[in-house]
Amino acid sequence: MRVLVVTAVPVERDAVTRAFGGGTEVLALPGAELHRTGAFDVLAGGVGPAAAAAATAFALASASPAAAVPSPYGLVVSAGIGGGFAPAAPLGSLVVASAIVAADLGAETPEGFAPVTALGFGRDSFTPPPALVREVASATGAAPGPVLTVSTVTGTAERAAALRAAHPGALAEAMEGFGVAEAAERAGVPVLELRAVSNAVGPRDRAAWRIGDALAALTEAFGKTAPVLEGWHRHDH
């Protein structure tokens, strides 16, 4: 079974492929460049949910161009750095999504934020396979919990508090998971999201970012969880 890993930017892609120990082949597809190592195809699809959804959809469609041909991918993983909600997700820690939540997809109303589902269309979250989430958490030490997808990075304590209130238990925010999940769902492939925390969700403080530490944590996590991911079959669980 092949695994498609979608990051936002090339440094995240390279942090993931580094875990697999070399021998990477680059495959140029329409709309996507896959870095293939063994069972893993890793793609830097761009920042934000729209870029992530488009890149993931192109990769999935290129891999099985005819509807009658099943996808070679058994799993799609959205991976990269992210902001962590303190104290549950400190800098350098890992989070694996138990739910991938579109945190700002909806409407502002006098009563507060209304998710797109409350407006009567679309969906506002995806649930990765719970057994796989548990296995990845156990292999990597990642904390399992909801991960929010936002189009605007949180930069104030007020916004962080509003997100916590609207999504109790959320551990992290990032910008691509929901887009990757939308594309994976349409291809009938399960999805997972794994984030390494580079900064705290809250007031903007660029000096406090620990991007290098988070990328190193991402490499270590994929090193530990690669056998779990490539050996996982959805019907096993």
Site for ligand LNDFFVEH, rule CB under 6 A: 8, 47, 80-83, 150, 153-155, 173-176, 198-199, 201, 204
124 vs 135, beta carbon nearer ligand LNDFFVEH: 124
Phi, psi of 149 (to 5 degrees): -105, 125
22 vs 87, beta carbon nearer ligand LNDFFVEH: 87
Residue 217: CB minimum distance to ligand LNDFFVEH, A: 13
CA 190 to chain centre: 12
74 vs 199, beta carbon nearer ligand LNDFFVEH: 199
Residue 56: CB minimum distance to ligand LNDFFVEH, A: 14
Residue 32: CB minimum distance to ligand LNDFFVEH, A: 17
63 vs 91, beta carbon nearer ligand LNDFFVEH: 91
29 vs 211, beta carbon nearer ligand LNDFFVEH: 211
Q: What is the dihedral of CA 37, 42, 43, 48, to 10 degrees?
A: -170
63 vs 160, beta carbon nearer ligand LNDFFVEH: 160
Residue least distant from ligand LNDFFVEH (Cβ): 83
Residue 234: CB minimum distance to ligand LNDFFVEH, A: 26
Residue 223: CB minimum distance to ligand LNDFFVEH, A: 21
Residue 237: CB minimum distance to ligand LNDFFVEH, A: 28
